[in-house]
Structure 1
Amino acid sequence: MVRGRDHQPDAGTGYAELARATYTRSGKPWRWWRPLIALAITGAGMLLGQTVLLVAFLVIDLAGASRVETWDPEVVLDRIVALDATDVPVLIVTLGGLACLIPSIYLGLAVAGMRPIGHIGSVALRLRWRWMLSLLPVALASLVLSLGITILVSMVAVAGAGGAPDAEVFTPQWTPVGTLVPALLVIVLLVPFQAAAEEYLFRGLFVQTLAAWLPARRWSMALVVVVTTLLFVAGHVYDVWGLLDVGVFGLAAVWLTLRTGGLEAAISLHVVNNVVVFSLQATGIFGSTEGSGEGSLVGVLATLISTIAYCWVVAVMARRAGLRSTSPWPSPRGVAPVPLPMPGVWAPVQVPSQPVR
């Protein structure tokens, strides 16, 4: 693009700077502490939601338990940490508690005065539902590719080892239908909100907050990507390979958010992954309905290949659809708005020069 004093500045603010841009366009001075208010209310809202659900869990589930030891706090904690995909009360507490992030974030933005609060969704100041729904089949294909690579490599490894004893890894322990159906119902209803809530927090609120505090430089955006990904990884209790797998997903999610100007692509991938994995885990096909938290080099490579493929397809679809990845107004950092003539009165338009960054 040609730059110079006679050329209009780039029209468009990226997703990361939307929080500051939407506020300063109202003519009010930006204050660094506003995101802190939003973060505090978000944390308080999630804590309140989790507390209410946990109390309900203790009252309803444990009050009817026949074993006295189930009242032991260690037993309760072990159940929550194990995250058995067929343990409906635990699913409601964990998934529902994370889902509380979405209303908490919107409330925090509203109280902090960072309106319109829709900037957390995309540069369109809302979630672009049609775009997000169109990506669900692509996300499913990506997950199938990842699972296919993992299973294929594992089968080859088992065959190379002579078939035993590693073959036991593929022996399912099927869940009874009476236990599976309610678990699947909870998974389908709550997991999409849990996955979306994590995107709202890590790729939404955290990204926009850090970008609002840092200068508009390339290094600052790289710092935003690294920090938010590390925070996302820190929120999971896995082994080294499992954390690397989560890190690959986190990097892909933040890239998708910045590339498409919204959370939709990351939400689609996250929702499909979690719904399918939780559902498969609930069936007992992996031999256990509990989350192991263990990863592998094969799993990391499969995730890397499948997420790269997903990112490439999303980029192609966004380009063909003409998807806007920036806002229709210029960045507020050092760029004065272009003055317009009054109605009925002719006046020359003064075009500001491109700021040096």
Structure 2
Amino acid sequence: MDPQQPGPTPPPGPYSQPGQPASPPPSPGRYGPPTQPPPPHGRPYPQQYPPPQGQPYPPQYPPQPYPGQQYPGPYPPPYPQQYGTYPPYYREPRIVPAPPGTPYHRLGRTPKHTWWRPLLGTLLLGALAFCGTAAVVIAWSIAHRLIAGPFPEPSGVDLFPNDTENLALTLVMLAVLTPFVGLAAWLVQRRPFWSVASVLNRIRWRWLLWCCLPALGYIGLSVVTGIVVDTLFPAQDAIGTTEGEWIGWGAFVVPALVIVLLVPFQSAAEEFVFRGWLLQAVGAYGPDDPNGRARWLRILFRSPWPGIVVSSAVFVSAHGYTSWAMADIFLFAVTVGWLTVRTGGLEAAIALHVLNNLIAFLLPAAMGRGDQWDVQGDAPWTLFLADLPCLVFYAVAVSWLARRREIARLS
């Protein structure tokens, strides 16, 4: 036979058009041959691309090659309406962050948000806090008995006869709350573990160190205003910044080490609970659309102020302060809550809380009043007067520094 002459034309196959050579049947795709049973979800399998030779593209699909692998995400629009939002083989992620452009107080308003998730997360956080603190007390008591021997029956709220050990136990009991907050957000609200920390879903350590500078200014200004107030006002209204005498380095070094090592974790844990979880739990209830009936109420709940006020009130109730001391701590909580939303994270609140608590614990320990670390109660009105300009200074300084450093406020 002449090699240049065409051979006989094979008979047409099932996938050929009249007058065209036969083509082999299409290879099985992701879901097997067309004769396999229907999928369990009741939806038709997506047609393979490219279609068999001579058959047109279905009109609902985009006319582009499709090699047989699935798309990494949803079908490019338009796609069949029977598939809903995602094609049948798409698996929705378990953990979903907040959409881009979300402020800090609404990071709990993710696509998985429902009305019961913040409530259930709060109950879970309370249960974890109870079990975790109880486990710390039991483990600490066993370790104390093994190392130092038996200890007498507890008197009052103190478990051990040593004031420094009681302080260390209390600080550790509060410090273990930080991972519980992230666990509640991860398990119940289905959002990133560290989304409670900032809009970047992490602790911004460099920004935290920058916030320590205005926090040091706050401490220095507090000392100055305290001395001025004690000088100008009578003794019954004095703050009492100079009570006690120096106990010496030998008696001060051990409690100082305990305070310096544990107070940062205790203060950060309180911020994660109150300015983190509670503020975002209330902010998650703000509607996505501020329009509609009761428009002013919907706009109010979208703002951070309901969360700031509620978390500050709970923060005050968690302490034993009364009268003007209660007003002062409420002002402190509102200030750091506003800064948390303003800077998009807990770093400014943690920096101020840590340095404030360091001074509050170190000064009594240095003056021989280490047994009064857990004493909370009333305070003169001059304390509120002296602390007001200090908090204003810190808020202004951190806001200015955040603008200069271009700190992210939105996710």
TM-score range, shorter chain: 0.7 to 0.9
Answering whether residue 391 of structure 2 is matched by residue 307 of structure 1, we say yes
Answering whether residue 276 of structure 2 is matched by residue 192 of structure 1, we say no
**Range that drifts further, 208-217 or 232-241:** 208-217
Answering whether residue 223 of structure 2 is matched by residue 147 of structure 1, we say yes
Amino acid at match of 2:175: A
Q: Deviations over 1:241-262 (max 9, x none)?
A: 1111110100001100111111
Secondary structure of 1:47 counterpart: helix
State the alpha-carbon separation in 1 of the partners of residues 129 and 368 from structure 2.
33
Q: Higher helix share goes to which structure?
A: 1
State the alpha-carbon separation in 2 of the partners of residues 190 and 126 from structure 1.
21
Q: 1:39 aligns with which of 122, 140, 143?
A: 122
2:379 maps to 295
**Is the CA contact 2:171–2:266 (under 8 Å) kept in the aligned structure 1?**
yes
Once the two structures are superposed, the pairs formed by residues 1-357 of structure 1 within 5 Å of their partners are: 12-20=101-109, 23-24=110-111, 29-59=112-142, 70-72=152-154, 75-77=155-157, 79=158, 87-157=163-233, 170-215=242-287, 217-220=298-301, 221=303, 222-284=305-367, 289-293=372-376, 294-327=378-411
Amino acid at match of 1:122: S
**Is the CA contact 2:229–2:386 (under 8 Å) kept in the aligned structure 1?**
no
Q: Deviations over 1:27-74 (max 9, x none)?
A: xx432222233323322222222112322444455795888xx404xx
Amino acid at match of 1:326: L
**Range that drifts further, 306-315 or 149-158:** 149-158
5+ residue gaps, structure 2, are: 1-98, 291-297
Q: Deviations over 1:193-241 (max 9, x none)?
A: 1111111111111111111123354422332221111111101101211
State the alpha-carbon separation in 1 of the partners of residues 182 and 220 from structure 2.
34
Question: Shift of the alpha carbon at 1:98?
Answer: 0.9
**Is the CA contact 1:173–1:287 (under 8 Å) kept in the aligned structure 2?**
no
State the alpha-carbon separation in 2 of the partners of residues 17 and 152 from structure 1.
41
Q: TM-score, normalised by structure 1?
A: 0.75
Q: Number of matched residues?
A: 299
**Range that drifts further, 87-96 or 106-115:** 106-115
RMSD: 3.0
Secondary structure of 2:345 counterpart: coil
Task: Pick closer, same or farther for the CA change 1:147–1:295 going to 2, 3 Å.
Answer: farther
Question: Shift of the alpha carbon at 1:122?
Answer: 0.9
Percentage of pairs with the same residue? 34
Q: Deviations over 1:265-323 (max 9, x none)?
A: 11111111011211112112679744442322111122211011000011111111111
Bigger Rg, structure 1 or 2: 2
State the alpha-carbon separation in 1 of the partners of residues 145 and 191 from structure 2.
43
Q: 1 or 2 for the larger relative contact order (CA 8 Å, sep ≥6)?
A: 1
